[in-house]
Structure 1
Amino acid sequence: MDKKDNQMRYLPLNQNDRAAMLDVIGVDNIDALFHNVPESARLKGLVDLPQHQSEHAVERHMAKLSAKSVSASSVPFFCGAGAYKHHIPATVDHLIQRSEFLTAYTPYQPEISQGTLQTLFEFQTQVALLTGMDVANASMYDGSTACAEAVVMAKRVTRKSKAILAPGLHPHYAAATQTLASTLDIQIDERDCRPGRDSHVIDHITDETACVVVQSPNVFGEIIDLAPIAEKAHAHKALLIAVFTEPVALGLIKSPGEQGADIVVGEGQGLGVGLNFGGPHVGLFACRQKLVRQMPGRVCGETVDANGDRGFVLTLSTREQHIRREKATSNICTNSGLCCLAFTIHMSLLGDAGLKQMAVLNHEYACHMADIIDGIQGAEVLNETFFNEFTVKLNKPAAEVVQQLADKGILGGVPVSRLTDGQDDLLLVCVTETSTDEDMHVFGEALAEILS
């Protein structure tokens, strides 16, 4: 106890300890450990916050800050770009709030984690069926990290180091992949992020290619025919990695597995997991059976115990903690357990027919919205194909239009300029089953007024 400030302090290392550790690492000071963080992103000095406040004062202050946010359910909402607003049945939240689920953690002792293992087993089954693949793991952090891990996996499988990223890959997914690849001697061949160009990646596949990464529907909402790309990739002994950000689309579009994909990764947030102002999300990862031993994450399997009763085990576990570090296939340390449980419950409630019906509603509503926008002077829908999201070319900067729509109480989409440089006149508009006819006409009338 420090008598001066009357606070308990725990400082186990002295200056000599720190100096010895830095010497072993081979750096002069602690700041050198953060040299990869841009100078502009580093905090200089303390955060400008009051040193202390009463609990009541903090609650009032945080409530005022929260009141400045506009929730997706309170206004007409047409934002997507990788995070989607769908109706989540109340049953989902009711079940995941149960203590046996809410407090469950990664099953380090499988013999006493049968409930957790079974839910993960069911989750894997659903993901494999949804993607048209042989096997799925027990989830990743999110879609972007799953994409990055898939590229690393392709390097291990093919023993080649060149990855081609299609122009329609979500820029955030491309950035996450670039970050991981930069540490593992993987060469990224990335095309400029623009609509209508994904089919051209087929011309860049060579014998040096480890994998081609193609998103469908892509970030512009376009549906891509993966089959010819898969055929060309396989001819050069490369893998096709199929990516998606909207899982509901797989209820209507031919699965990536049916189109020849070797690895399928994506974001599962659209089913069971709310927008939650940005997270958490749940990454989905599936592959062909022959590649399973190179797949990151963990796989839960079904077996029988000594009495012949059904039981569940960790069939494959790739984390460094469980096997020799040099044999590890991922730096992912855990699965998104609660989020994939929410996904599993929502999928179970929908069933095959329910998911297809939900997907049809999404597409029909989006077609209606596209017709409304196409009738507005100064707005043009660019897509020839789409599921529930499409790109609109405006006669004004999209960011300014979105701000004016927000001033009218409408969250009218995502400017492409928020995701990538340039293309200031492009707007991504997403319509789901939660959008009403009134919402769409209100949006259309406001957009027409702004563009006139």
Structure 2
Amino acid sequence: MKHRYLPMTPEDEQQMLEVIGAQSVAELFADIPEAVKYSGTLPMSGALSEPALMKHLKGLASRNADFERYTSFLGAGLYDHQIPVVIQHLISRSEFYTAYTPYQPEISQGELQAIFEFQSYICELTGMKVANASMYDGATALAEAAALTAGAVKRRKIIVSRTVHPEAREIVRTTARGLDLEIVEVDFKDGVTDLQKLAASIDGDTAAVLVQTPNFLGHLEDIPAIEALIHEAKGLLVMSVNPLSLGLLESPGKLRADVVVGDAQPLGIPASFGGPTCGFFAVTEALMRRMPGRIVGQTVDKDGKRGFVLTLQAREQHIRREKATSNICSNQALLALCASVYMSVMGKEGFREAALLNYRKARYAAGLAEAAGSKTRLAFAAPFFNEFVLRLPEGADIQAVNTKLLEKGFLGGYDLGWAYPELSGHMLVAVTEQRTKEEIDAFMRELEACL
């Protein structure tokens, strides 16, 4: 029982030590100074039987505030959306579940077809010509987009709106340091990018403007105005989008975006303690060969039957390092499959209905916040999709408010003071299609009571 999950026996260990000429395992770590080694016994419980260990682990798991036991109004990048039951059934099939990057693609036809379908869905959703096989997540996709634009227009300045997700902006800055790019952040006004400050920041060295819509504050950016400003300067427009919102909003392709990225988490992917998720990346045809990662293409075999191949893989593993667009290799194939199954089972009408429910339920909740006698107010008047900013009464402690809400069974909104000091006392509230009228009413009642 002691070695049920550990195939190494003391005899195995001794044989290996004899082969390498060591007296003990401790001798293998002799080069580590004693001063930095941990001395004593780690603060852990003693050995437990399997039944006792399972009870202990379940007890620890029960301390998590999950979406099944708590009603979530927390968004800020990860959301409680419906996940159709069929998704788990399909992604649990061993041929998908065990698949990694297809290094021998010709024998991975099922996996390649699934990726091809994902690319096709993303192109249809975004209105762009080409999409890749997916990215790690939306934030790294945005950083890769910044790198792409700098190489494409041979300029070093990237302008990023402060309404872009704070964590995504951090990743863009980290990537930029290694590529010697200049990152300029433009402030916001009334919940959206300040167009006057943006216009003043754009010059002849500007490669691109990176903007998110709906933005981190939940509001819809004035993309036509931003597009005109950057294209007049011969730069590129990069849009980060919530894919579900595209069930209602004009596609980025029609808005003349050059690069479109985002996180596919709203499309049937669980929050999973913050990840992993799946990023998508789509471009105009002119930028196709600069796209990171890989593209799956459709062809026919020698018998004329449809088949799939890896078409473009412009990374340093396949071409000369100095000509590589990125070192990105692994795509989130299993989670891209989640998104593909979601879009397939929802269909165009179901997708649009889900987006519409997000919009309408968020508007209903915002209306309650603005009702006569309410202690909360909407911070900004700009249009929003399924998130909005509430201004709480002066002196309100959002952390204390959220603690009280948790006791009542609610995951409260995001404290914007963490990322935006000037928005201290403001809460970002997300309302998805999962929330019922009764839940929204109860949440707003409890929020008022906490204040």
TM-score, reference length from structure 1: 0.88
**Is this contact kept in 2: 1:84–1:275, CA < 8 A?**
yes
Q: Kindly provide the amino acid, as one letter, of the partner of residue 206 in structure 1.
A: D
**Residue 74 (structure 2) pairs with residue 76 (structure 1):** no
**Alignment CA distance shift 1:86-1:237 (3 Å):** same
**Alignment CA distance shift 1:233-1:341 (3 Å):** same
Q: For residue 156 of structure 2, what is the aligned residue in structure 1? A: 161
**Residue 372 (structure 2) pairs with residue 388 (structure 1):** no
Deviation for aligned residue 1:3: 8.4
**Is this contact kept in 2: 1:363–1:387, CA < 8 A?**
yes
How many angstroms apart in 1 are the aligned matches of 2:18 and 2:264?
41
How many angstroms apart in 1 are the aligned matches of 2:275 and 2:308?
29
How many angstroms apart in 2 are the aligned matches of 1:335 and 1:11?
40
Q: Kindly provide the amino acid, as one letter, of the partner of residue 222 in structure 1.
A: H
How many angstroms apart in 2 are the aligned matches of 1:8 and 1:254?
64
Deviation for aligned residue 1:294: 0.5
Q: For residue 321 of structure 2, what is the aligned residue in structure 1? A: 325
2:238 is matched with which residue: 237, 241, 256? 241
**Is this contact kept in 1: 2:192–2:219, CA < 8 A?**
no
**Residue 138 (structure 2) pairs with residue 112 (structure 1):** no
1:300 is matched with which residue: 296, 304, 315? 296
Q: Kindly provide the amino acid, as one letter, of the partner of residue 384 in structure 2.
A: F
Q: For residue 446 of structure 1, what is the aligned residue in structure 2? A: 446
Q: Kindly provide the amino acid, as one letter, of the partner of residue 442 in structure 1.
A: A
Deviation for aligned residue 1:303: 0.7
Q: For residue 134 of structure 1, what is the aligned residue in structure 2? A: 129
How many angstroms apart in 2 are the aligned matches of 1:55 and 1:352?
51
Equivalent position SS for 2:427 = strand
**Alignment CA distance shift 1:379-1:50 (3 Å):** same
Q: Kindly provide the amino acid, as one letter, of the partner of residue 385 in structure 1.
A: P
**Is this contact kept in 2: 1:318–1:330, CA < 8 A?**
yes
Q: Kindly provide the amino acid, as one letter, of the partner of residue 91 in structure 1.
A: V
Q: Kindly provide the amino acid, as one letter, of the partner of residue 236 in structure 2.
A: L
**Is this contact kept in 2: 1:168–1:195, CA < 8 A?**
no
Q: Kindly provide the amino acid, as one letter, of the partner of residue 209 in structure 1.
A: T
1:186 is matched with which residue: 159, 163, 181? 181
**RMSD between aligned alpha carbons?**
2.6
How many angstroms apart in 1 are the aligned matches of 2:42 and 2:376?
44
Q: For residue 202 of structure 1, what is the aligned residue in structure 2? A: 199
2:44 is matched with which residue: 34, 41, 50? 50
How many angstroms apart in 2 are the aligned matches of 1:242 and 1:214?
5
Q: Kindly provide the amino acid, as one letter, of the partner of residue 205 in structure 1.
A: I
Q: For residue 216 of structure 2, what is the aligned residue in structure 1? A: 219
Instruction: Kindly provide the CA deviation profile for residues 218-246 of structure 1, in whole angstroms up to 9, marking residues without a partner as x.
Output: 000010121121121111111111012x3
Equivalent position SS for 1:257 = coil
**Is this contact kept in 2: 1:199–1:229, CA < 8 A?**
no
Deviation for aligned residue 1:100: 1.1
Q: For residue 251 of structure 1, what is the aligned residue in structure 2? A: 247
Equivalent position SS for 2:272 = coil
Q: Kindly provide the amino acid, as one letter, of the partner of residue 144 in structure 2.
A: E
TM-score, reference length from structure 2: 0.88
Q: For residue 85 of structure 1, what is the aligned residue in structure 2? A: 80
Higher mean C-alpha displacement, 397-406 vs 137-146 = 397-406
Instruction: Kindly provide the CA deviation profile for residues 84-122 of structure 1, in whole angstroms up to 9, marking residues without a partner as x.
Output: 111111111111111111111211111111111111011
Deviation for aligned residue 1:196: 2.5
How many angstroms apart in 1 are the aligned matches of 2:37 and 2:257?
47
Deviation for aligned residue 1:278: 1.5
Deviation for aligned residue 1:397: 2.9
How many angstroms apart in 1 are the aligned matches of 2:225 and 2:307?
42
**Alignment CA distance shift 1:202-1:400 (3 Å):** farther
How many angstroms apart in 1 are the aligned matches of 2:43 and 2:362?
45
**Is this contact kept in 1: 2:192–2:220, CA < 8 A?**
no
**Alignment CA distance shift 1:53-1:72 (3 Å):** same
Equivalent position SS for 1:53 = coil
Q: Kindly provide the amino acid, as one letter, of the partner of residue 273 in structure 2.
A: F
Q: Kindly provide the amino acid, as one letter, of the partner of residue 446 in structure 1.
A: E
Equivalent position SS for 1:404 = helix
How many angstroms apart in 2 are the aligned matches of 1:359 and 1:12?
62
Equivalent position SS for 1:259 = coil
Structure 1 residues without counterparts, runs of 5 or longer: 15-28, 32-42
How many angstroms apart in 2 are the aligned matches of 1:143 and 1:429?
21
How many angstroms apart in 2 are the aligned matches of 1:13 and 1:352?
66
**Is this contact kept in 1: 2:248–2:352, CA < 8 A?**
yes
Deviation for aligned residue 1:202: 3.1
Q: Kindly provide the amino acid, as one letter, of the partner of residue 190 in structure 1.
A: E
Deviation for aligned residue 1:9: 6.4
Q: For residue 21 of structure 1, what is the aligned residue in structure 2? A: none
**Residue 344 (structure 2) pairs with residue 354 (structure 1):** no
**Alignment CA distance shift 1:4-1:354 (3 Å):** closer
**Alignment CA distance shift 1:211-1:81 (3 Å):** same
**Residue 278 (structure 2) pairs with residue 282 (structure 1):** yes
